[in-house]
Amino acid sequence: MRTQVGIIGAGPAGLMLSHLLARYDIDSVVLEARSREYVEARVRAGVLEQGTVDLLDETGVGKRMHDEGLVHEGIELRFDRASHRIPFPELTGGRSIMLYGQQEVVKDLIAARLAAGGDVRFDVSDVRIDKFDSAEPVLSFQEGHSSNRVELHCDFVAGCDGFHGVSRESIPRSEFTEYHREYPFGWLGILAAVAPSADEVTYTYTDRGFALMSLRSPQISRLYLQVDPDDDIANWPDRRIWDELHTRLAIDSEWSLTEGPVLEKGITAMRSFVLEPLRYGRLFLAGDAAHIVPPTGAKGMNLAISDVAVLADAVAHWYDTGSSTGLDDYSTTALRRVWRAQHFSWWMTSMLHRFPDDDPYQRQLQLSQLHYTVASQAASASLAENYVGLLRG
């Protein structure tokens, strides 16, 4: 079997890449380890930067997002039992964010690929990449319950298979540098069947740790608590979660948190990670396969999309002109944006969480940073500009 670009992973990066390549009439095959039902139900990110919204629109997959997503024009920061708003449009020249679940973006992209006759294969296993340092890399895999291996010959391979995928592991360690930061806390997240108690995404700093109120729809709230990363979700019955949320989110003005049935809950570790470069021979890494951010800045899915926007243009340029300039620059171009998002995500995380070794001096520094961020037009604008996403280019 042959295709132009073999793509491993049907997350936002792999599906968007396949969709963008198709617009250039470039063939691709997407290989996904999980079932379609599984990837379409996997609840993860939910904040789309303006640039991601624009790209989905420009490429014809934005309709349902506009029908069902929620445009937000700011966020709230809470500390010292008071709430402060950061308004986005006036600080960023009219830009905003869209709340629309990652699983909905994935559904829209799968539907678009299949409607256009795209080749997306679910439930494949044991994907291997060979000869990616040659001009014709080969992907091999098993399909369904068959024990036969299928070979897929390609011009390029895109490793879009997330943090636990096979792509990054296939590259010899001597060929890249890894940058890490592990955080000494995790996020306990719940999905609850209740209308959100705040109009906007609300980030809260307290002495007991961080809390976040977000939403997936006008009827479904998403709430998070900073917890020990090794804590067991069994230690957190719903009552304890709601009590802790009430305590951390409390403010002195009139406001209350409304409870509802918990639909899902889990604890996620927090880390920052970058691998450089994003290319080895004809294998190109994109999205979580190459970099991870803590979710505090809502950047993970947006970076996956911005990586493949750069990669699709570079691949198209190669087919169009035979020039490898774009491919040669892919890693440097994509990493510039990745590192900006790394810094922003680390900064938000450091400002809003309690660290186990924090002393009273550190607490005063965090509060000073929070006061400055909401009081200074320049500091608010910096947060807003990073949150809605820097312009491409």
Ligand X SMILES: Cc1cc2nc3c(=O)[nH]c(=O)nc-3n(C[C@H](O)[C@H](O)[C@H](O)COP(=O)(O)OP(=O)(O)OC[C@H]3O[C@@H](n4cnc5c(N)ncnc54)[C@H](O)[C@@H]3O)c2cc1C
Residue 333 touches ligand X, criterion: CB under 6 A: no
Q: Starting from the edge strand earliest in sequence, which strands make up the sheet with 138-143, in order?
A: 124-130, 138-143, 149-153
**Minimum distance, C-beta of residue 254 to ligand X, in the bound complex (Å):** 29
Residue 300 touches ligand X, criterion: CB under 6 A: yes
Q: Which CB atom, from 268 or from 382, has the smaller least distance to ligand X?
A: 268
Residue 299 touches ligand X, criterion: CB under 6 A: yes
Question: Quick one: which of 295, 309, 351, 366 contacts ligand X (CB under 6 A)?
Answer: 295
**Minimum distance, C-beta of residue 319 to ligand X, in the bound complex (Å):** 23
Residue 341 touches ligand X, criterion: CB under 6 A: no
Question: Quick one: which of 5, 6, 9, 267 contacts ligand X (CB under 6 A)?
Answer: 9
Backbone CA torsion sign across 336, 339, 344, 347: negative
Counting residues that bind ligand X (by CB under 6 A) gives 32
Question: Quick one: which of 5, 7, 8, 17 contacts ligand X (CB under 6 A)?
Answer: 8
| Residues within window 40-79 making contact with ligand X, judged by CB under 6 A | 44-47
**Minimum distance, C-beta of residue 14 to ligand X, in the bound complex (Å):** 6
Question: Quick one: which of 102, 331, 380, 386 contacts ligand X (CB under 6 A)?
Answer: 102
Question: Quick one: which of 6, 118, 186, 287 contacts ligand X (CB under 6 A)?
Answer: 287
Residue 11 touches ligand X, criterion: CB under 6 A: yes
Question: Quick one: which of 86, 120, 158, 301 contacts ligand X (CB under 6 A)?
Answer: 301
Q: Which residue has the tokens 């691998």?
A: 275
Residue 298 touches ligand X, criterion: CB under 6 A: yes
Residue 33 touches ligand X, criterion: CB under 6 A: yes
Residue 31 touches ligand X, criterion: CB under 6 A: yes
**Minimum distance, C-beta of residue 387 to ligand X, in the bound complex (Å):** 11
Query: In whole angstroms, what is the distance from residue 127 CA to residue 150 CA?
Result: 10
| Residues within window 123-162 making contact with ligand X, judged by CB under 6 A | 127, 160-162
Residues classed as catalytic: 72, 203, 295, 299, 387
Residue 34 touches ligand X, criterion: CB under 6 A: yes
Q: Are strands 74-79 and 202-204 parallel, antiparallel or unpaired?
A: parallel
**Minimum distance, C-beta of residue 98 to ligand X, in the bound complex (Å):** 12
184: which residues sit within 8 A by CB, 6+ positions away? 229, 355, 356
Q: Would you tell me which residues interact with ligand X (CB under 6 A)? A: 8-14, 31-34, 39, 44-47, 102, 127, 160-162, 165-166, 268, 287-288, 295, 298-301, 304
